[in-house]
């Protein structure tokens, strides 16, 4: 399939699945139009790269639905100068989208082979403002703290408080939380206190 074919599929995805459902940040829409999702899915599933849903990847994990990637990214309100901590590198697709919008992304993945494969994909796309770490996502990466933004791509039963401690005073965190029922939660500081708001019902793999 030609580069033009994939560009057209990305354009359709942005128009129908994202802008058509209320994603309005032009920088997020541009990043989603730029990052080649087909490079982040298993070869046998590439014809489905821009389907409106998640897809399986290695180690029992998934690459999230494009709309959810865009929704969570937009909720971070990135302006270009932020350092982002991502928990759950997975395929590296969300990482690449974040890297297009932030100054630096530190991404933690507990499965070494997923981290290695994601690194190869990101290097193949000349994405250099990403640091990949193999480790327990519940612990984050305190050596690189403080961060401006935090994004979880796997769902803990309860939000790990130690991750919020790695955010700076203007920090924002977005994460799926729950077991049988999961909700997307947003943490922001107001008058020095963390405030949690709930938005979408979601279905993510559990944080392990």
Cα–Cα distance for residue pair 159/177, rounded to 1 Å: 6
**Distances, alpha carbon 196 to alpha carbons 147, 179, 188, in Å:** 18, 18, 7
From 64, 91, 107, 115, active-site residue: 64
Active site residue 64: yes
What's the 3-state SS for 23-84? Answer: CCCHHHHHHHHHCCHHHHCCHHHHHHCCCCCCEECHHHCEECCHHHHHHHHHHCCCCCCCEE
For 130, the 3-state DSSP assignment is: strand
Residues 6+ apart with CB under 8 A from 5: none
For the annotated catalytic residues, the residue numbers are 64
């Amino acid at each position: 399939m030609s580069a033009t074919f994939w560009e057209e599929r990305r354009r359709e995805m942005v128009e129908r699945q994202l802008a058509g459902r209320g994603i309005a940040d032009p920088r997020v829409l541009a990043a989603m139009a730029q990052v080649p999702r087909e490079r982040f899915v298993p070869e046998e599933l590439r014809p489905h790269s821009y389907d409106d849903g998640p897809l399986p990847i290695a180690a029992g994990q998934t690459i999230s639905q494009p709309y959810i990637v865009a929704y969570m990214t937009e909720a971070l309100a990135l302006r270009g100068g932020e350092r982002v901590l991502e928990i759950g590198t997975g395929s590296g697709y969300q990482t690449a989208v974040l890297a297009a919008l932030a100054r630096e992304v530190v991404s933690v993945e507990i499965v070494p082979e997923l981290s290695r494969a994601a690194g190869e994909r990101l290097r193949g796309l000349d994405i250099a403002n990403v640091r990949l770490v193999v480790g327990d996502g519940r612990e984050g990466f305190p050596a690189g703290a403080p961060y401006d933004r935090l994004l979880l791509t796997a769902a803990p039963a309860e939000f790990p408080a130690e991750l919020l401690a790695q955010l700076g005073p203007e920090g924002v965190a977005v994460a799926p939380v729950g077991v049988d029922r999961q909700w997307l939660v947003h943490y922001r500081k107001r008058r020095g206190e963390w405030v949690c708001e709930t938005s979408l019902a979601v279905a993510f793999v559990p944080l392990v």
